[in-house]
Amino acid sequence: MALVIVVISTILFAFASVTLWWTMHAWRTPETLAATRFAAPDGTHRLSFSLLLPARHEQRVLEHTVLRLMRSTHTRFEIIIVVGHDDPETAAVAHRLAEIHRHRVRVVVDTNPVKNKPRALNTALPYCRGLVIGVFDAEDQVHPDLLEYVDHAFRATGADVVQGGVQLINFHSSWYSLHNCLEYFFWFRSRLHLHADKGFIPLGGNTVFVRAAALRAVGSWDGNCLAEDCDLGVRLSSRGAKVVVAYDSTLVTREETPASLAALVRQRTRWNQGFLQVLGKGDWRRLPSFWQRMLARYTLTAPFVQAFSGVVVPLGIVIAVFFDVGIGAALVSFLPIAPMTATLMFQIVGLRDFGRQYQLRIRPIDYLRLVLGAFPYMLVLAVAAVRAVWRVLRGRDDWELTAHVGAHLPDAHLPGAAPVIREGSVA
């Protein structure tokens, strides 16, 4: 028993320490932090964009997203909305928008008998005329200047992929929303930059832009993968694609947290199961260096180690306190607490920075919610990880859709105001 405690505690200590160090990547030096932002655009619109917007049962939020995209200051883009043949409510909104904005908006109908996001994207790909394919979700609040910055980033860096920032905003909606928002903040603000620097990156699901030629060269999206964004990033990384990540709080795409705890568990279950699929597919084995392959293994298994630690660490401490395992083993069982405590302190500082960057009022009660909710949130992630494994063992790979209600949209940004429309060609 003592040996088991020592081994597990040491492994979890190492895992938590490495995760914390990588999460702090963007804040190591002022130069590192400055390098994570978009460079200022030069006003030249040389690239053309096909913006894919898969929408399933998104009639409540789709119009707002399309109108926001129509306000883009870039002049060469098209919007392709993908709707299912069995979703008349969303299709009605999409076709109405396409009728009003014929020069910009088109609708593609997904007739696949099995519906999911990657199959919807693959259905739309043959209709894309742009040099760059961009992906957004149906509830996204997109900044009008984003495409100008992305256009310049491609040309200035020679990138094959540009990953922009995504940020959950409605931290006040529930006790878990605060933790969910901070996860996104650290992931897109810092962690993805490390992955891009190391040459292995699990891409985000939206605000991601890929050169059409590079996307088609790798066979587009895997229609059977539950984490199609991660899978695409792995396949592009394994072929040496250059990925640039940029985060600027004024340009990020704003989204909402899942509307219920059950919805959060289903979402994380899908992501975790998708990570297992990507791990099993083995494309990461083609990464050129040993350390890139180790980073891939670490990243694709991290959700399960994190979930395991959320259960095992408290259990190990209870065993060490109430059972006779020896002084040495008892002391070692407390090792993972140190990096976990440091992570919590870092999150407290991060919450303050998050509020400052987004002009959000962070109250003392929010810091208290962060501290008191840390362990329950770990348990929620553990449940999602266990559920993912259970679904794999049961052979279930259906797509569990996350519903959106627009909780991240302030009243001032709801549909109704006339969008700024600029005529122009996508070609």
Question: Could you give the CA distance from residue 224 to residue 105 in angstroms, rounded to a whole number?
Answer: 28
- Cβ neighbourhood burial of 318 (10 Å; 0-12, 13-18, 19+): exposed
pLDDT of residue 412: 40
> Half-sphere exposure (CA, 13 Å, Cβ side) for 325?
20
Measured at the CA of 412, the angle between CA 411 and CA 414, to 5 degrees, comes to 65
Question: Could you give the CA distance from residue 108 to residue 103 in angstroms, rounded to a whole number?
Answer: 15
Q: Where are the alpha helices (DSSP H) in 225-260?
A: 228-238
CB 181 within 8 A of CB 168: yes
Measured at the CA of 19, the angle between CA 14 and CA 24, to 5 degrees, comes to 130
Distances from the Cα of 4 to the Cαs of 86, 298, 311, 328, 333, in angstroms? 53, 22, 15, 12, 10
Residue 166 β-bridge partners: 253
Structure tokens at 362: 């962070």
Q: What are phi and psi of 426, to 5 degrees?
A: -90, -20
Question: Could you give the CA distance from residue 143 to residue 137 in angstroms, rounded to a whole number?
Answer: 14
Query: Tens of pLDDT along the chain (427 residues)?
Result: 666 667 677 777 787 888 888 889 999 888 888 889 999 999 999 999 999 999 999 999 999 999 999 999 999 999 999 999 999 999 999 999 999 999 999 999 999 999 999 999 999 999 999 999 999 999 999 999 999 999 999 999 999 999 999 999 999 999 999 999 999 999 999 999 999 999 999 999 999 999 999 999 999 999 999 999 999 999 999 999 999 999 999 999 999 999 999 999 999 999 999 999 999 999 999 999 999 999 999 999 987 777 666 666 666 556 655 556 566 666 666 677 777 888 899 999 999 999 999 999 999 999 999 999 998 998 899 899 889 989 999 999 888 877 656 565 664 444 433 343 344 445 5
pLDDT of residue 375: 87
CB 276 within 8 A of CB 388: yes
pLDDT of residue 223: 94
pLDDT of residue 328: 66
Q: Which domains are assigned to the chain? A: 2-23+290-394 (no CATH), 36-288 (3.90.550.10)
Q: How many CB atoms lie within 10 A of CB 319?
A: 18
Distances from the Cα of 88 to the Cαs of 52, 83, 105, 123, in angstroms? 19, 9, 18, 18
Question: Could you give the CA distance from residue 119 to residue 222 in angstroms, rounded to a whole number?
Answer: 8
Global pTM value: 0.88
Question: Could you give the CA distance from residue 59 to residue 39 in angstroms, rounded to a whole number?
Answer: 35
